[in-house]
Amino acid sequence: MNPLRRLLDKNENPFDLPEEIKALILQKIGRASFNRYPDPEYAVLKERLSMYCGFSADSIVPGNGGDEILWMLFSRYVKPGDSVLVFSPAFSEYYRLADLFGASLCTVQADLNGDEPRFDHTLFLSRMAELKPSLVLVDSPNNPTGQSHPVSFIGKAVALCESTIVIDEAYGEFARDNWLSSMRGKVLPANVVVLKTLSKAWGLAGLRLGYAVCGKDSASALNAARSPFNVNILSGTAAEIILEHSEVMLARVKLLCGIRDGFISLVNRLQGWRAFSSDANFVLIRAPFPWSSFASSLGDLCLKRFALSSDTEDSTCWLRVSIGTEEDMESVISLFDTMQRR
């Protein structure tokens, strides 16, 4: 892979771990017994996660990235012919897993025609009551729009859901508010799973570690579906150490949110462009050019194209741009400005 490419298509954290923290991880790994399996209960890891998120260790289920948690959820709760309810657009993995498990994916479409996306929360609750889906998935902040769903709406959905409901907070650290934080000091309902990850804000995408914070019934079901050694000692050790240095994550989140908000402001100064506000480390952009114009102009920039309802080959297209360094975002603005001046 060309190291000069600006990878702004996978919502990765542009900052690697500080060298001093890497050194701590490598020192501890060097003392590990590679011939032994990890602790199948992941007691130390779950205790660290418990201290960070504010919920008991027995409510936490670790995973090989958040994707494995989603796989466990589908394997446990979804059978061929079942319905799964989501907003649309949403995280692409929901669509893939619904297809793999033979489920009917029922969507409540967002309105993307205005200055900001609009999600019909009343309709979503109505569809949930009507369909009685086997699994309900709500990503907040939503991917790819970057919009957070109101905590009040998520609370209503949780209270009314008769099956298992997943609140996907993979990007929650970037948001101004999130549902899990609002539940600190309370007992999670038995049918709830809150999906979290160390890939995004924590910058551990390459080590693949996610976790679920669950109500009692959901924790039991996921632990029954989880393979006994699903997190390797390298990933587990790195997570244990980095979780003791949350100040690094918080500082980088603050920096990235500042870069994000400045980038949105600059894009929206360009005639015909619209960058939606975001609670995540990416921004959804409605561009006044067809994708073919971008494909021939990207150079070393890697951006994510989305085919949404108003995306046509000869007019506009939708881009999801991950937030990188200030230099990365200056390159994106330069590209957009050059296209605007043609």
Q: Contact, 277 vs 265, CB < 8 A?
A: no
Query: Is 290 strand, coil or helix?
Result: coil
What mean pLDDT is predicted for residues 232-253? 96
Give the span between the Cα atoms of 50 and 188, in whole angstroms.
Answer: 14
User: What pLDDT is attached to residue 309?
Assistant: 58
pLDDT, tens only, 157-170: 999 999 999 999 99
Q: In the CATH scheme, what architecture does the domain 6-13+247-341 have? A: Alpha-Beta Complex (3.90)
pLDDT of 31 strictly over 70 = yes
pLDDT, tens only, 80-108: 999 999 999 999 999 999 999 999 999 99
Domain boundaries, the chain: 6-13+247-341, 19-245
Sheet of 83-88: strands edge to edge?
60-63, 210-214, 192-197, 164-168, 135-139, 83-88, 104-109
pLDDT of 313 strictly over 70 = no
Q: Contact, 253 vs 146, CB < 8 A?
A: no
User: What pLDDT is attached to residue 4?
Assistant: 59
User: What pLDDT is attached to residue 39?
Assistant: 95
Share of the chain above pLDDT 70, in %: 97
Which tokens in the block code for residue 290?
């067809």
Compute how many other C-beta atoms are within 10 angstroms of the C-beta atom of residue 121.
18
pLDDT of 13 strictly over 70 = yes
- What's the gap between Cα 155 and its chain centre? 19
Give the span between the Cα atoms of 308 and 89, in whole angstroms.
Answer: 8
User: What pLDDT is attached to residue 201?
Assistant: 97
Q: What is the DSSP string of 178-208?
A: -HHHHTTTSPPPTTEEEEEESSSTT--GGG-
Q: What is the DSSP letter of 266?
A: H
Cα dist from 106 to 90, 95, 290, whole Å: 12, 10, 29
Helix (H) or strand (E) holding 210: strand 210-214
pLDDT, tens only, 263-287: 999 999 999 999 999 999 999 999 9
Q: 19-245 has which CATH code?
A: 3.40.640.10
